[in-house]
Amino acid sequence: MTDGLRMTVLGSGYLGITHAASMASLGFEVLGLDTDAGRVDQLNAGRLPIHEPGLEELLCAGLEAGRLRFTTSYPEAAAFGDVHFICTGTPQQPGSDRADLSQVHGCVAALAPLLDRPCLVVGKSTVPVGTARRLAAELSQACPGAELAWNPEFLREGSAVADTLAPDRIVAGVTSGRAEQILRQVYARPLAGGAVFIVTSLETAELAKAAANAFLATKISFINAMAEICETAGGDVRDLAQILGADPRIGPAFLRAGLGYGGGCLPKDIRAFVARAEELGAGASLAFLREVDAINLRRRARTADLVHELAGGNLAGVPVCVLGAAFKPGSDDVRDSPALDVAQILTGMGARATVYDPAALDNARRVRPGLSYAPTLAGAAQGAHVVLLLTEWPEFTALTPGRLGGIVARRNIIDARNALDPAPWQEAGWEYRALGVAADAAARARLDASP
Ligand code: UGA
């Protein structure tokens, strides 16, 4: 069955669309499935519902080559696929830290009874450890020839296509040599390109994703904790990160101090990981991740406090320009967006915050209709007393103090992503503040007063 494999991809979020289009570009015949008919029509028309560089081209190439199409029909998917990829979302449950697995369970429950020939169902969604074992039992009960494997995805938004076509590692959580062979066939091209293939159990494969995201979040919160110390003691976290990162045992990646992590993955994944460990009686092992989360959220409050300070201690009616709504540049994703949280906090403190983002305004308006938005950068900056750089889009990092200085009412800027060179701003008369860099006088006073 490994010759001319036909694949279905269940779910058409970030992961599903990227996986479907990538597999089609590797020469496989792919049928994507989503229960949302509008989304399916949109995808079949070659229109990408998300902002992801290079993905629309890949989608259109797959459609034009006749190797990719989308459906809402589970019977069609069951009849079509030799390999079925589960790519549905696992968001945080409202009111709980746990992952909401209803989409994963829903798609297996819909597919399993329709399967009537040997096939491999491959989970790619991020799930709590133990989920795959239960799904495997459900599947084999419904169709004895249907087998489950777990194959977590490590793609990043903004570089999803490259991460999918040329991953650094492929994790194959399997229970048979047959499943391993099918996954080797699926990923033959990336494997030939040098990707590491790691065969392991279902549980280790599930844990691999949770552990990887927990490590990345910990690294970011570590440097942000150092930023807090720098702010208190008078250090500069950018220099500190450079010094730490030069040690090859530490490495420079994910040591960019600032407003911290957001998005649809790291925040909810580490919370779900802690919740699962607690369910398993191993809560103490991951208790530190609660602190990682707390450090991350404190950066948002600190940024708002800095604005308050720069505005002279009263934010009532103060016009503030908020640059950024997406959780990171290159994306229109505003899930758990640190930038929108800061805008919300400032609005709550009485400021007149106006948000601009080059890609995420529509999504931001939808999830935070109470905030004010401007369709252009100049519109958001007009008359501002404080400018906040919260998402490091190239359009913002290329800003010059002279150009912006002609639009704002007061020259105050907070670089919450440590993305600007302070010198030209300070030379042009701006009060430049960044997270992790103390205002010298205050820090010196604290050091002098300390025992
Ligand atoms: C993350 C992981 O990096 C992927 O490996 C994983 O597959 C994905 O989650 C997922 O679980 O699906 P992503 O959420 O796209 O990918 O974004 P990242 O590039 O990891 O950035 C996450 C956040 O951390 C962003 O808000 C970014 O601004 C922030 N960040 C990143 C920092 O604050 N400092 C850094 O040094 C790096």
Please provide the DSSP assignment of 418-446 as one string. S-S-HHHHHHTT-EEEETTB--HHHHHHH
User: Which atom belonging to ligand 1 lies closest to the Cα atom of 259?
Assistant: 33
Query: What is the rounded CA–CA span in Å between residue 173 and residue 123?
Result: 9
- 222 CB near ligand 1 (under 6 Å): no
From the candidates 87, 119, 265, 321, which is the catalytic residue?
Answer: 265
Phi and psi at residue 250, to the nearest 5° = -100, -55
**Cα of 225 from ligand 1 centre, angstroms:** 18
Which among 153, 265, 297 is the best mutation to test ligand 1's pocket, defined by most ligand atoms within 8 Å of the CB?
265
Which among 15, 52, 156 is the best mutation to test ligand 1's pocket, defined by most ligand atoms within 8 Å of the CB?
156
Active site residue 265: yes
Query: What is the rounded CA–CA span in Å between residue 209 and residue 91?
Result: 15
pLDDT of residue 1: 39
**Cα of 7 from ligand 1 centre, angstroms:** 28
Query: What is the rounded CA–CA span in Å between residue 338 and residue 333?
Result: 11
Query: What is the rounded CA–CA span in Å between residue 169 and residue 398?
Result: 34
Q: How many residues does the chain have?
A: 451
CB atoms within 10 A of CB 69: 18
Ligand 1, atom 22, lies closest to the CA of 261
- 256 CB near ligand 1 (under 6 Å): yes
pLDDT of residue 55: 97
Query: What is the rounded CA–CA span in Å between residue 237 and residue 291?
Result: 19
**Cα of 175 from ligand 1 centre, angstroms:** 31
pLDDT of residue 439: 74
**Cα of 112 from ligand 1 centre, angstroms:** 33
Query: What is the rounded CA–CA span in Å between residue 295 and residue 288?
Result: 11
pLDDT of residue 2: 42
User: Which atom belonging to ligand 1 lies closest to the Cα atom of 329?
Assistant: 28
Which two tokens mark 164? 């999918």
Sign, CA dihedral 225-318-365-381, equals negative
CB atoms within 10 A of CB 143: 19
pLDDT of residue 436: 96
Ligand 1, atom 33, lies closest to the CA of 260
CA 155 to centroid of chain Cα atoms:
9
Which residues of the chain are modeled with pLDDT < 50?
A: 1-2
pLDDT of residue 287: 98
Query: What is the rounded CA–CA span in Å between residue 100 and residue 93?
Result: 5
**Cα of 329 from ligand 1 centre, angstroms:** 11
